[in-house]
Amino acid sequence: MESFKFSNKVEQQAMMSLSVYNVGRQQCTAGYKWGPAVRDHYLIHYITSGKGTYTVEEKTYALSAGDAFLIYPDTRVSYQADLLDPWNYEWVGFNGSDARIILNATSFSRDHVVLSQPACGERLRAGIRRVYEAFGNSFSQSLKMTGQLYLLLELLTQEAGEDRRQKGRDADVVRAAVGFIDQRYSYAISVEDVAAFAGVSRSTLFRIFTRYLELSPKEYLDRYRIRKARYLLRDTDLTIGAIAVSVGYDNGLYFSKAFHKMTGQTPSQYRAGSHRAPEMEEAPRL
């Protein structure tokens, strides 16, 4: 079979909660290999024909048509088409604050990166195709792609067994907490306020939050505020005191200390642009 590759890459990710990075399909040549290397986003592959291997760190999986595999961000992986029966696969790459939360409600995990013959396989393939067909770099096209991606990931949550359903309920708590922070970060909210909105105790919120996001609720809130402050420092002429208030700090000195701790610069240094530290990631890797 003649090899081919169709790949669409999004020039910029419009949504912070969930964005498509790339989508495509490929008929690989015999022995075609990618990696070992790392991605900066999640990537789901669905194998439509043929065979190949997927290696994560030191573990290798032999895969064939009907299987799906997930690549996690910042994880060393490689994958290679079979020499005699090279695979044909379709994929979608994505990231954002909802990504890890949703994936944790599926059967995928760090220790379970392969779905062997999932019942939703053909629907998963059709979902990837719908993301592909919605491709574009305009804002409206980004919305449509993201909408199709949510529907695709929802298929995977349906596929999850009962042992994952509690994780789905925990994911609802995290989504509620993250949404509350997104809407109320500019006010003097506390972790207790976030927990109350999510309908759980502070200790429960801490336990769920750190398991899903590898950050405490307080760390997430601080990162979110500093990220918003960076935008205001770059793109507005507001005073530093006004920016502190705008992102929820009623004490300018505390804001400056928090900003320096997280970026290695004072707000004034960041605004001036001299010796700028590497940009913080836009959101925790989810």
- Going from the C-alpha of 215 to that of each of 219, 256, 277, the distances in angstroms are 6, 21, 22
Q: How far apart (Å, rounded) are the C-alpha atoms in residues 269 and 107?
A: 45
* Domain 224-272 superfamily per CATH: Homeodomain-like (1.10.10.60)
* Sheet of 88-95, strands arranged across: 4-9, 19-27, 88-95, 42-49, 68-71, 114-115
In tens, the pLDDT along 86-122 reads 999 999 999 998 898 899 889 898 889 999 888 889 9
Residues 146-167 have a mean pLDDT of 81
Say whether 224-272 and 164-218 share the same fold.
Answer: yes
Statement: residue 128 has pLDDT above 90: yes
Q: How far apart (Å, rounded) are the C-alpha atoms in residues 261 and 83?
A: 51
Longest dimension (CA), the chain: 66
Name the one residue in this structure whose structure tokens are 């064939």. 64
Torsion of CA 128, 134, 136, 139, to 10 degrees: -110
Architecture per CATH, domain 164-218, reads as Orthogonal Bundle (1.10)
In tens, the pLDDT along 194-204 reads 999 999 888 88
* pTM of the complete model beyond 0.85: no
| Residue spans per domain, the chain | 4-159, 164-218, 224-272
Query: Which amino acid type is present at position 164?
Result: R
Query: Which amino acid type is present at position 15?
Result: M
Fold exhibited by the domain 4-159 = Jelly Rolls (2.60.120)
Range 204-207, long-range pairs (CB < 8 A, 24+ positions): 204/173, 205/173, 205/177
